[in-house]
A = this chain, B = another copy of it.
Amino acid sequence: MRTRLGKLVERLGGQLTGDAEAEVSGIAPLDSADASHITFLSNPKFRNQAGQTKAAALILSPADDAALAGVYGGSRIVTDNPYAYFARAAQFFVELYAEPVRPGIHPAAVVHPEARVDAGATIGPNVTVEAGAAIAAGAVIDAGCFIGRNARVGEGTHFFANVAFHAGCEIGKRGIIHSGAVIGADGFGFARENGVYIKIPQTGRVVIGDDVEIGANTTVDRGALADTIIEDGVKLDNQIQIGHNCQIGAHTAMAGCVGVAGSAKIGKYCTFGGAAMVLGHLTVVDNVHVSSGSMVTRSILEPGQYTGFYPLAKNAEWEKSAAIVRNLGTMREKIRELEKTIKSLTEKK
């Protein structure tokens, strides 16, 4: 299967210089692309490499186009954001090659008669859909998933195999939930009495907006009384834990292994590096970027980049530094004594 460059530009925009009738069959990196591929230049430092690519066509920015127009002999598609264009072109080719989805309920699925599954939805084998659940057109629920009572899955949303999506939870349109993710397990809420924990029932839901992607084995707990909220466009990587009653602002992205404790309120357009942790009941405003491995222990009320992890070292050096860290108080005390001694020395004069 191949596609004409002209068709691609018609669909995705950008300005084509070159042969609209040329056909390409896929996308490839600058160095491995051949005449059947389209490629892209998203960083000017690779201009030299781009000048030598064998690709049939090159996606690039106006500035790079000016520099490469006389150098690169293939077709050029000029766009303000070549990397975003590449992403859309790659989506285009994936659709081109994708197995056609055949809507319907697999005979080995168990769908409760009181569930509402749209005729345009696809339910795989060994799936369980409980009473009252609603699955919209274009949704695809792969093998082994569980959809609890009264849960709602929006149009075009795709659950990969073995997702658990619990009672009453909701996800909007065009979402993706990867295998092993658990949405709507009970939050971790207990009252303590004489050293023993008494469970506080978790009766809130998880409410997820449109265009949200949730990674493999990630967990998002239901709220205690109110709901846990994941706003539009949020992207969560694998192995993430989101506690009950959290709110994650629109278009915020979190890398793998991040943990957010209960009732934290995270702003929009934030990013969290891998394994960053956020304590409960904190507020993080919009446009905050937390580095990997950092522990957020207080609210962050000002946009910016925040970091907090202990620097890696050869083990022997670490042992030395760590021992001093443990005694930093003593070190400060010594400095104070030195200051005093010097002061008395200078005063004597």
Contacts and interface: CB of A to CB of B under 8 A. Distances in A.
Interface of A: 27-29, 81, 83-84, 86-88, 90-91, 93-94, 99, 106, 108, 110, 124-128, 142-144, 146, 148-149, 160-162, 164, 166, 176, 178-180, 182, 185-186, 188, 190-193, 195-201, 203, 213, 215-217, 219, 221, 225, 233, 235, 237-239, 241, 243, 251, 253, 255-257, 259, 261, 269, 273-275, 277, 279, 291-298, 304-315, 317-329, 331-332, 334-335, 338-339, 341-342, 345-346, 348-349
Contacts of A203: 90, 94
Nearest to A337: B339
A110 B90 contact: no
Contacts of A332: 324, 331
A342 B339 contact: no
Contacts of A259: 239, 256-257, 274-275
Given A90-B201, A257-B259, A318-B307, A180 B313 contact: no
Nearest to A326: B311
Given A90-B201, A126-B128, A325 B338 contact: no
Which residue, A179, A279, A291, A307, has most C-beta atoms of chain B within 10 A?
Answer: A179
A345 B279 CA distance: 50
A277 B276 CA distance: 11
A190 B29 CA distance: 16
A83 B224 CA distance: 14
Contacts of A191: 81, 83-84, 86-87
Nearest to A298: B312
A29 to B, nearest CB: 6
B313 A306 contact: yes
A175 B269 CA distance: 40
Given A126-B128, A191-B87, A257 B269 contact: no
25 contacts: A87-B200, A88-B198, A91-B201, A93-B201, A126-B144, A128-B143, A128-B144, A144-B144, A160-B164, A160-B185, A179-B185, A180-B219, A188-B215, A188-B235, A188-B256, A190-B235, A219-B256, A221-B238, A239-B239, A292-B295, A298-B312, A307-B312, A325-B325, A331-B332, A338-B342
B274 A274 contact: no
Q: Which 5 A-B pairs have the closest CB atoms?
A: A308-B312, A128-B143, A146-B161, A185-B216, A164-B179
A215 B221 CA distance: 10
A162 B146 contact: yes
Given A128-B161, A179-B185, A238-B241, 8 more contacts: A84-B191, A90-B203, A94-B203, A126-B127, A180-B219, A216-B221, A241-B257, A311-B322
A334 B255 CA distance: 39
B329 A320 contact: yes
B28 A225 contact: yes
B306 A308 contact: no
Which residue of A94, A176, A190, A219 has the most chain B CB atoms within 10 A of its CB atom? A219
B188 A178 contact: no
Contact of A216 (B182, B325, B348): B182
